[in-house]
Amino acid sequence: MSQHAQPLDVEAIRADFPILQREFDGSRLVYLDNAATTQTPEPVVETIADYYRTTNANVHRGLHQLSQEASVAYEEAHDRVAEFVGASGGREEVVFTKNTTEAVNLVAYAWGLNELGPGDEVVLTEMEHHAALVTWQQIAKRTGADCHYVPITDEGRLDMDAAREMITDDTAMVSAVHVSNTLGTVNPVGELADIAHDHGAYMFVDAAQSVPNRPVDVEQLDADFLAFSGHKMGGPTGIGVLYGKRHLLEGMEPYLYGGDMILKVTFEDATWNELPWKFEAGTPVISQGIALAEACDYLDELGMANVERHEAALAEYAHDRLTSFDDVEVYGPPGDDRGGLVAFNLDGVHAPDLSSILNDSAVAIRAGDHCTQPLHDVLGTAASARASFYVYNTREEVDRLIEAIDDARQLFA
C-alpha cells in the first residue's frame, strides 16, 4: 500500500455508504460513533451478499464444488488479512475470532492459564479497554499472578518512566492498547515491546483502534500477539483477528475444542490441526472472513496513510473547537497528537443526557465509560461523551456537532 498521504475524496467515499443519507426529522445523519462501529461500504456488503448467493457452504468438510470454493475463499481471506497487517508468515499467523475480546481471551486462556503462576506479573496500562483489563485480571486471579498498571500522565499519555520500572524479569506479559478508545492517545507499543522482550516477556497489542485507522505492521512493532475487530474497519460484525507469532501459536493449547480443529480423534485422545485451524473450532466465520478481506482491499485502495491523515485532521479540528469553550473539558493529548476521536464533558450536563440531546439533532455519538471504567476513575468522572471519526466524516459534520452541543448548553442554562 502507498504510505504517501493524500487527501481523501470524501464525497466519493460517502457514496459507498448509503446509510449516511438517512434523515431523522428532516436532519441528515451525522455519524460520529466510529470507535464503537464503523459503517459498512457497499463493496463489503456486496461481498457478503454474493457469498450467500453463489458460494454458501461449509468449509474444510465437503468435496463438492461449493465447499471447495468456500474453503479457498476463506483460506485466502486469512492470507489477505495477514498481508494487511504485515504478517509475513501468512495465514498460519492469523486466527479468525468473533471480535477483539475473544482474541484476548484466546491468548489469556490458551497461553496464560498454562504459563502464568505465583510470582509472575502481567503489566497493563490504566487506559486499557475492559476486554483486556478484565480478562488478564481474572486470569491472574486464577493463576496466582499479579497485574500491574502503568499510570498515565496529566496529559493522558503513558508514563514510560514508570513502564520501564514496572516491567521486570518477573513480567511474563505486557498488554497495552495501541490507541486509547477514550483518550485518543497513541501509545508507543513498539517501545513497550522492546522493553518487554529485554526482560523475557511477551507483548500483546490491542489494536482495535489502530488497525482500522492507520498503517500497522506487526513485525515492525515486534508484537508477539495483536488483536483487532472487523466491524471497526468497514467490515462486518462477528469477526475479529488474532495475530500471533507462529512459534508461539504452535506452542499453545487450543482454546476451544470441536470440529475442524482436530487431525485425529479416538475414544482416548485427539491431536490438533495445523495453524490457524487449531484455534477455529466448529463452523467458522466464513462470510465474515471473506468480507473482512474485502474491507482490507477497500482501505488499501484509499491508502492507510491517507486514512490516518484524514482522521487526525478531523480530531484536531474537533479538539480545537471543543477546547475553545470554557465549559467543555476535553480528555487526552493535544489535538495534533491523537487518534481520530475526542472524549469530553460539558459542564452541568451528564454525558448520556448530552448524547440524547445530540440525537435529537441526528448527531450520533457515544456516551458512557467506553468500557474503560478504571480510566474514568483516574480522570475523576463517571462518564464522558465521545465523538469518533472515519473516512466518510467531514469538517462540516464537526460543525454540526458543535452546534448541537450549543443547543444542549442553551437547554441546560
What residues are annotated to the active site?
371
Whether 29 contacts 47, CB under 8 Å: no
Task: Return the CA Rg of the chain.
Answer: 22
* Omega within 30 of 0 (cis) for the link into 276: yes
The span from the CA of 171 to the CA of 215, in Å, is 29
Torsion on CA atoms 358, 361, 364, 370, rounded to nearest 10: 10
DSSP string, 156-223: S-B-HHHHHHH--TTEEEEEEESB-TTT--B--HHHHHHHHHHTT-EEEEE-TTTTTTS---HHHHT-
Query: Among all chains, which residue has been given the C-alpha cell 488479512?
Result: 81
Torsion on CA atoms 87, 91, 96, 99, rounded to nearest 10: 10
94 burial class (0-12, 13-18, 19+ CB within 10 angstroms)? buried
Whether 347 contacts 329, CB under 8 Å: yes
Q: Report the phi/psi class of residue 127: left, alpha or beta, with left for phi > 0 and alpha for psi in -120 to 50.
A: alpha
The span from the CA of 396 to the CA of 280, in Å, is 44
Q: In angstroms, what CA-CA distances link 412 with 241, 265, 327, 329, 408?
A: 44, 66, 12, 17, 6
Q: How many CA atoms lie within 13 A of 374 on its CB side?
A: 17
